[in-house]
A and B are shown apart, each in its own frame.
Chain A
Amino acid sequence: GAGVSQTPSNKVTEKGKYVELRCDPISGHTALYWYRQSLGQGPEFLIYFQGTGAADDSGLPNDRFFAVRPEGSVSTLKIQRTERGDSAVYLCASSSRGTGGFGPDTQYFGPGTRLTVL
């Protein structure tokens, strides 16, 4: 079956612009995560959705970052007034359960969107 997909694969924008990054999780997966991966670093947690609601948004760096998942499937990460420091690969992952009595199940990652802010 299809895996997690992310669009666009690359995005180049100018400082101050608004961008939207899209994530299509595996069908039926209720849990969805967004991460940011800067060059030479590991992924940094941004936000976690269980269904339509953001269960943990403690990783969002500031109020320029916002994410939605209105129907519990596709999610969009929105970045306002982009800054050069926002340049990174943005990864999305989904899992069938997220967490529960038997602990977190396997996250399936997408290929990421490379965002470059000029």
Chain B
Amino acid sequence: AQTVTQSQPEMSVQEAETVTLSCTYDTSESDYYLFWYKQPPSRQMILVIRQEAYKQQNATENRFSVNFQKAAKSFSLKISDSQLGDAAMYFCAYRSVGSGTYKYIFGTGTRLKVLA
């Protein structure tokens, strides 16, 4: 069974600085998808970025980028030029490809605080 681990319960970053959130996962599959979701206090989860495992190039979305290390089963999220609106819970998630399962497996989350 696949697992997703986020070992940082909480992180803080100064406004305009850069922060990296860690995520590791365990799987025996060779192809899969990885995601980072943001959950603000309103509870509504928002997709931040996604990565297909077969792609070697790291995904980027504006100030958000990932460092995908397939061999190490690591998928970290880097937030550049942090803004107050980035404060939220961040969840890493895993989804299998073509195995007949539609499960998304989420980590326990990292709470990001942005200091003014």
Q: Give every chain B residue within 8 A of A93 (Cβ-Cβ).
A: 45
Q: Give every chain A residue within 8 A of B43 (Cβ-Cβ).
A: 89, 91, 111-112
Does chain B have a CB within 8 A of A44? Answer: yes
Q: Give every chain B residue within 8 A of A107 (Cβ-Cβ).
A: 45, 47, 104
CB distance from A111 to the nearest CB of B (A): 5
Number of interface residues of A (CB under 8 A): 27
Q: Is the interface of A mostly helix, strand, loop or mixed?
A: loop
Chain B residue nearest to A109 (CB atoms) is: B45
Interface residues of A in 68-118 (CB under 8 A from B): 89, 91, 93, 98-99, 103-104, 106-107, 109-112
Chain A, residues 30-65, CB within 8 Å of chain B (1/0): the string is 000101000011111100100000011011000000
CB distance from B108 to the nearest CB of A (A): 5
Chain A residue nearest to B95 (CB atoms) is: A104
Q: How far is the CA of A5 from the CA of B60 in the complex (A)?
A: 29
Give the interface size class of chain B: 20 to 34
Chain A residue nearest to B107 (CB atoms) is: A42
Contact among B46, B95, B103, B106 for A42, CB-based, below 8 A: B106
Q: How far is the CA of A58 from the CA of B104 in the complex (A)?
A: 12
Q: Give every chain B residue within 8 A of A48 (Cβ-Cβ).
A: 102-103
Q: Which of B4, B91, B102, B105 has the most chain A CB within a 10 Å cutoff?
A: B102
Interface residues of B in 70-116 (CB under 8 A from A): 91, 93, 95, 97, 100-109
Q: A103-B33, A103-B52 are in contact. Are A43 and B104 (CB under 8 A)?
A: yes
Does chain A have a CB within 8 A of B42? Answer: yes
Q: How far is the CA of A98 from the CA of B103 in the complex (A)?
A: 11
Contact among A33, A111, A112 for B104, CB-based, below 8 A: A33
Does chain A have a CB within 8 A of B30? Answer: no
19 residue pairs of the A-B complex, CB under 8 angstroms, read A3-B44, A33-B104, A35-B104, A40-B109, A41-B109, A43-B91, A44-B106, A45-B102, A45-B105, A56-B100, A56-B102, A58-B101, A93-B45, A103-B52, A107-B47, A107-B104, A109-B44, A109-B46, A111-B42
